[in-house]
Amino acid sequence: MPPLTVEEKEIVKAWIEVGAPPGPLVVSPQKPPPFTLRRRIVRDLGQFHPPSTHFPIALLIVALPAEFLWVLTRKDSWKTTVRFCVTLGAVTAVITATLGWCDAPFSTYAGASASVLSWHRWLGTATAIWAVLAAALSELSNRWNNPPRLAGYFRLTLVIGAVLVSVAGYLGASLIYGLNHFSW
């Protein structure tokens, strides 16, 4: 069956709002605002949010084992991998969060899902800001030859970034598959 259109979702939402009465549907839904070109572009861009999410999730998490391997081996190639993952992770996190902001106004999550979206929205935004901070620390640390104290702060930032992106990703996926989608 094809997914519901925006108009059909509005009808279901209006029906739920009047108490989901049984029997024939006698709800006259409010007309959604007309789709101006700007709204349409924002909505179409927002549809790239779900596929874009894979990049920051993977890159910001992979930076952690790469940093661990650098600490273990001191091989420059691992440090280069860390810089690559963190920098690209930050860029893609900002793009992903921006696309999320484009997507969210057109979503029709209600009830518990609305509060999941609210947590997801702010954790996702915090993830993007945090990832930029991690990328800046990575560059600074590299420029100053990785002084131990700065390297320590950078590692802490990496761990917090990996946790943030994981929780934001989990909540995002919960919007689509339900809060229990990870249970086994």
Is residue 121 close enough to count as binding ligand HEM by CB under 6 A? yes
Q: Is 24 exposed, middle or buried (0-12, 13-18, 19+ CB in 10 A)?
A: exposed
Would you say 133 and 157 are in contact if contact means Cβ atoms under 8 Å apart? yes
Binding residue (CB under 6 A) for ligand HEM from 79, 87, 124, 137:
124
Q: Which of 132, 145, 161, 149 is nearest to 76 (CA)?
A: 145
Helix and strand element counts for the chain (H, E)? 7, 0
169 near ligand HEM, judged by CB under 6 A: yes
Contact with ligand HEM (CB under 6 A): which of 61, 86, 93, 162?
Answer: 93
Is the CB of residue 134 less than 8 Å from the CB of residue 93? Answer: no
Residue 89 touching ligand HEM (CB under 6 A): no
Identified binder of ligand HEM from the candidate list 61, 66, 128, 137, rule CB under 6 A? 128
b (16+ CB within 10 A) / e for 167-178 = bbbbbbbbbeee
# binding residues, ligand HEM (CB under 6 A): 27
Binding residue for ligand HEM, selected from 61, 87, 89, 103, defined by CB under 6 A = 103
> Of residues 39, 64, 125, 167, which one binds ligand HEM by CB under 6 A?
125
Residues 6-45 touching ligand HEM, rule: CB under 6 A, are none
Candidate residues 59, 85, 86, 97; the one interacting with ligand HEM per rule CB under 6 A = 97
Smaller CB separation from ligand HEM, 71 or 110: 110
Question: Which residues, other chains included, contact 147 with Cβ-Cβ below 8 Å and sequence gap of 6+?
Answer: 141
- Distance, in Å, from the CA atom of 170 to the CA atom of 176, rounded to the nearest integer, reads 10
The 137-156 site mask, x for binding ligand HEM (CB under 6 A), equals --------------------
The verdict on 85 binding ligand HEM (CB under 6 A) reads no
